[in-house]
């Protein structure tokens, strides 16, 4: 069983940047597809970015438009999301997730495919 803990959220002005981190414990994530998702009140959770187990491919939601970068360090059991050029509409709770499959089906952006979730970290852009 994998435990995931996100950090790095906060408040930032539009145009600013944040770097989210996700630390995994309980198992190595090197075999897992990993993803970032976000959710705002009253809306469904949506896929932000995903990365294959070995980091060989990355996928992004259409709204990202080149502003975010997902990365992983399997040696440290960590996942990251660098967010630049943030917009007010990026305000949400951001979640880290792990899929036990080593590949990312549906480009890793389908919430139903993931097995483990963190508690989330709030990102507020004003």
Q: Identify any residues that bridge with 4 across adjacent strands, giving them in sequence order.
A: 24
Instruction: Give the confidence band of 52 by pLDDT, cuts at 50, 70, 90.
Output: very high
CA quadruple 81, 106, 43, 120: dihedral positive or negative?
A: negative
What pLDDT shows up at residue 2? 95
Instruction: Give the confidence band of 9 by pLDDT, cuts at 50, 70, 90.
Output: very high
Instruction: Give the confidence band of 7 by pLDDT, cuts at 50, 70, 90.
Output: very high
Whether the per-residue pLDDT at 70 is higher than 90: the answer is yes
Instruction: Please give the C-alpha separations between residue 125 and each of 12, 44, 71, 112, 118, in angstroms, as whole numbers.
Output: 5, 19, 22, 28, 21
Percent of the chain exceeding pLDDT 70 equals: 100
Q: Which two tokens stand for residue 117?
A: 């979730």
Q: Identify any residues that bridge with 46 across adjacent strands, giving them in sequence order.
A: 38
112 secondary structure, DSSP code: G
Percent of the chain exceeding pLDDT 90 equals: 94
> Model confidence over 82-109: pLDDT tens digits?
999 999 999 999 999 999 998 998 888 9
Helices first, then strands: H and E counts in the chain = 0, 11
What pLDDT shows up at residue 83? 98
Q: Which two tokens stand for residue 40?
A: 């705002």
DSSP code per residue over 46-85: EEEEEE-TTSS-EEE-TTTTT-EEEEEETTTTEEEEEE-S
Q: What is the mean pLDDT of the chain?
A: 96
């Amino acid at each position: 069983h994998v435990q995931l803990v996100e950090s790095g959220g906060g408040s930032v002005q539009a145009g600013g940047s944040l770097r989210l981190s996700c630390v995994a414990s309980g198992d190595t994530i090197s075999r897992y597809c990993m993803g970032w998702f976000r959710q705002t009140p009253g809306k469904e959770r949506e896929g932000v970015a995903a990365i294959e187990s070995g980091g060989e491919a990355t996928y992004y939601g259409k709204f990202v438009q080149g502003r975010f970068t997902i990365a992983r360090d399997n040696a440290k059991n960590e996942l990251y999301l660098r967010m630049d050029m943030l917009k007010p509409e990026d305000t949400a709770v951001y979640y880290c997730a792990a899929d036990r499959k080593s590949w990312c089906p549906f480009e890793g952006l389908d919430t139903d495919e993931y097995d483990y979730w963190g508690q989330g970290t709030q990102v507020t852009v004003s």
